[in-house]
Amino acid sequence: MAENVSERIEELYRPSAEVMAQAHVADWEGMAARAGKDFVGFWEEKARELIDWHSPWTKVLDDSNKPFYKWFTGARTNIVYNAIDRHLKGAYRNKLALIWEGESGETRTFSYHALNREVSKFASVLKSLGVKKGDRVTIYMGRVPELPIAMLAVAKIGAVHSVVYGGFSTEALHGRIDDSQSRVLITCDGAFLAGKIIELKRIVDEALKRSAAVEHVVVVKRTCQEVMMEQGRDMWYHDLMGLPIADPKCPTEIVDAEDPLYMLYTSGTTGKPKAIVHSHGGYQVGVATTLKYVFDLKDEDRWWCAADPGWVTGHSYIVYGPLLLGATGFMYEGAPTYPYPDRWWQLIEKYGINVFYTAPTAIRGLMRWGEAWPNRRDLSSLRLLGSVGEPINPEAWRWYHRVIGKERCPIMDTWWQTETGAFQITPLPSMPLKPGSGGRPFFGQEADIYGEDGTPVKDGEEGFLVLKRPWPAMMRTIYNDPDRYVQQYWSKYPGVYLTGDSAKRDKDGYYWIIGRVDDVIKVSGYRLGTAEVESALVSHPSVAEAAVIGLAHEVKGTAIHAYVLLRQGFEGSPALAEELKKHVGAEMGPIAKPEDVSFVASLPKTRSGKIMRRVLKARAQGLSEGDISTLEE
Ligand code: WT7
């Protein structure tokens, strides 16, 4: 990781003739120049090419109320119509939409016809439970086919899904249900992961003791252990789907292009996680266009995005993107190393996956098991690889390229965020690649690196990464908090979108992402807020105050380190440290568990009482504490 960026920027991987011959866009420079001259025209063209509309827009981009941009205003649509309904005519009807494999090896497949039946039946069930257009529905499940089915069913009737990652625990779930005011919750009895059961329903029961708004809980049976079913509130999915109310004829609710499709909670600078809102019209255009060009998806491809549907990567590129393009997607339930470290490679071989998309942390984790595991599998079906979630270190890039891609497959290191909905800075298959660089702004986008004062810095210098043009898949607002939307993303530098990342641009116009500049920590690519982890710590009876920071970790990229000030009468011990880690795991989720807990007598604070995490971090790294003139004595 210690390599110097300036040495690396010269390392170029040029696309092979084979890749060039297949690329949807061979002349990316020409296309970028055209889209750069008229980005609104570019998006209008893609909206016509890739998406069907029930009635046309009156305006492609309405920027009369910045930064509340609107796209395709006046148009009528529903993303589910484009993801499923339109494929039911003709050849796609019998094509596989989804192939799924469980951790223990069972397989389920859904043609577009079968997926539609399941989605329509469940949409009818939701209607009969009283779910209406605009209502929020929380989904908290393992990686089973019913997860995308539930999302699509909610969207089909014009309601708004709020998926909570199945790896989160009680308080994280409770906070997200409460904020969204969902009256219906869809979950599973449990989820299989790495040979163990995550007791989702038990966590739901705990969370619902803390919130009151939920009236109905629909439970998918997966792990079959005994669970509590509360009379009048909890119902089994399979029971409901067997009733006449599960009508397979359910019309797709045609909505306004700007009507909300989903909300997704993500951690920001301060306080509680906030719900990012995406809409039907622009989002489908952005997701379909980026997936088509960046991963060069072809009709006959088998695509595997190995993320969890509970994060934005899964929303855009497991559920909506592939279906919009009429592709065949693959989804795997379990852990990459279970029962053996070649599980993923075995699945690539078994299903003949052509394009594979994962995160640097997974690559680093699998690298540690050595080359023999991938080498005993036939990976020759692969054509393109992808990476997302955090900067990929060049060693991991080169390993992925050589051992998995056999030096044939370009790696698309896609930079984007929950807020952006779709890739913003990315390579293209026809573009020369630099290991560790996210490439260049996608068609129609323009990025820059600003100094503190808002002037662009010189090439090679670090600064704040900003996006300068609106794009169709952009977030529309923060649910119930439009002021925060303006304040957090559009206020530091008026007129441009602040990403929260620091980055550099090299002389060739390639971007190098360095990391978050706010209080967001990326643990194994998962985005966590320091505030959320700290409040989980403080909810333990022994803790008076807590501060957490992220420090470099070989596999996780960054790991959480906690500093805890105990209440009177408590004494720090290894046993208490363990208990606090467990407590954070139970409140927030296993991914948020601190790597270690240090007991301290005081925390560095400003005179106004803000914890100076920067100082903690510098101390932990043995670096100078920098400017501490605001430090309280
Ligand atoms: C943050 C957004 C998992 C889908 C996108 C994550 C970091 C994302 C890259 C990349 C370097 C990356 C950034 C960004 N990030 N992709 N290719 N190279 N950093 O969505 O959870 O909202 O996180 O992830 O720091 O701001 P997210």
Which helix (DSSP H) or strand (DSSP E) does residue 162 occupy? strand 160-163
Mutate which of 527, 532, 558 for ligand 1? The one with the most ligand atoms within 8 Å of its CB, which is 527
Indicate which atom in ligand 1 lies nearest the CA of residue 414.
17
Closest C-alpha residue for ligand 1 atom 1:
417
Q: Give me the pLDDT at residue 211, please.
A: 80
What residue has token string 């699509």?
152
Which tokens in the block code for residue 542? 């022994």
Residue 531's nearest CA partner among 148, 226, 185, 273 is 273
Residues with CB under 6 A from ligand 1: 266, 311-313, 388-391, 413-418, 438, 499-501, 513, 516, 522, 527
* Residue 418 near residue 431, CB atoms below 8 Å: no
pLDDT value, residue 8: 59
Only one residue has tokens 């049976």, namely 221
Residue 594 has pLDDT above 80, yes or no: yes
pLDDT of res. 272:
83
**Ligand 1 pocket test target in 263, 274, 312, 388 with most atoms within 8 Å of CB:** 388
Nearest CA to ligand 1 atom 14: 417
**Angle in degrees, CA 309, 313, 318, rounded to 5:** 55
Residue 631 has pLDDT above 80, yes or no: no
- 388 CA from centroid of ligand 1 (Å): 6
pLDDT of res. 2? 43
How far, in Å, is the centroid of ligand 1 from the Cα of 465? 12
Residue carrying the six token digits 């430090």: 631
CA distances in angstroms from 609 to 169, 284, 605, 612, listed in the order given: 30, 44, 5, 9
For position 588, what pLDDT does the model report? 95
* Residue 466 · residue 505 · CB < 8 Å: no
Tokens of 28: 């990316």
* Proportion of the chain above pLDDT 90, given as a percent: 92
Contact 418, 264 (CB under 8 A): yes
Closest to 413 in 3D by CA, of 436, 431, 396: 436
- Residue 205 CB neighbour total at 10 angstroms: 18
Residue nearest (by alpha carbon) to ligand 1 atom 3: 389
Residue owning the nearest CA to atom 8 of ligand 1: 389
- 527 CA to centre of ligand 1 in angstroms: 8
Q: What is the mean pLDDT of residues 552-579?
A: 96
Direct distance between the N- and C-terminal alpha carbons of the chain, in angstroms, rounded to an integer: 36
Q: Which atom of ligand 1 is found nearest the CA of 526?
A: 21
Q: Report the SS3 class of residue 123.
A: helix
Stretch among 273-277, 374-378, 607-611 having the lowest mean pLDDT? 607-611
Span 346-360, average pLDDT = 98
CA of 67 to the centre of ligand 1 (A): 22
User: Each residue of 12-59: pLDDT tens digit?
Assistant: 999 999 999 999 999 999 999 999 999 999 999 999 999 999 999 999
Instruction: Decide: 283 and 69 in contact? Cβ < 8 Å.
Output: no
Whether pLDDT at 3 is above 60: no
CA of 514 to the centre of ligand 1 (A): 11
Is pLDDT of 1 > 50? no
Q: Are 314 and 308 in contact (CB under 8 A)?
A: yes
pLDDT digits (tens, 9 = 90+) for 203-251: 999 999 998 789 999 999 999 999 999 999 999 999 999 999 999 999 9
From the list 400, 404, 416, the residue with the least C-alpha distance to 525 is 416
Q: Quick check: bond before 67 cis, omega within 30?
A: yes
Atom of ligand 1 minimally distant from the CA of 513: 11
* 497, two tokens: 């979108």
Q: Give the distance between the most distant pair of CA atoms in the chain.
A: 74
For residues 468 and 496, the answer to whether their CB atoms sit within 8 Å is: yes
Give me ligand 1 centre to Cα 609, in Å. Answer: 30
- Which residue's alpha carbon is at the smallest distance from atom 2 of ligand 1? 417
Mean pLDDT over the full length of the chain: 95
> How far apart are the CA of 456 and the centre of ligand 1, in A?
22
SS3 assignment, position 450: strand
pLDDT band at 533 (very low <50, low <70, confident <90, very high): very high
Q: Which atom of ligand 1 is nearest to the CA of 516?
A: 25
- Number of Cβ within 10 Å of residue 627's Cβ equals 9
Instruction: Answer left, alpha or beta for residue 244, where phi above 0 means left and psi between -120 and 50 means alpha.
Output: alpha
Number of Cβ within a 10 Å radius of residue 621: 11
Q: Whose CA is nearest to atom 5 of ligand 1?
A: 417
Using alpha carbons only, what angle is made at residue 241 by residues 239 and 244, rounded to the nearest 5 degrees?
100
How far does residue 389's CA lie from ligand 1's centre (Å)?
A: 4
Q: How far apart are CA 411 and CA 401, in angstroms?
A: 7
CA of 147 to the centre of ligand 1 (A): 23
The residue count of the chain comes to 633
Q: What is the pLDDT at residue 609?
A: 82
Using the 8-state DSSP alphabet, how is residue 316 labeled? I
CA distance 115 to 222: 19
Q: Per residue in 309-333, pLDDT tens?
A: 999 999 999 999 999 999 999 999 9
Ligand 1 pocket check: which of 385, 416, 467 to mutate, most ligand atoms within 8 Å of Cβ?
416
State which of 265, 358, 390, 521 you would mutate to test the pocket of ligand 1, scoring each by most atoms of that ligand within 8 A of its C-beta: 390
Task: Tell me the per-residue pLDDT of 87-103, one tens digit each, with 9 for 90 and over.
Answer: 999 889 999 999 999 99
How many angstroms is it from 313 CA to the middle of ligand 1? 10
Strands 384-387 and 411-413: parallel
Q: How many CA atoms lie within 13 A of 391 on its CB side?
A: 23
Could you tell me if residue 130 is left (phi over 0), alpha (psi between -120 and 50 degrees) or otherwise beta? left
What confidence tier does 373 reach under pLDDT thresholds 50, 70, 90? very high
What distance in angstroms lies between residue 172's CA and the mean position of ligand 1's atoms?
21
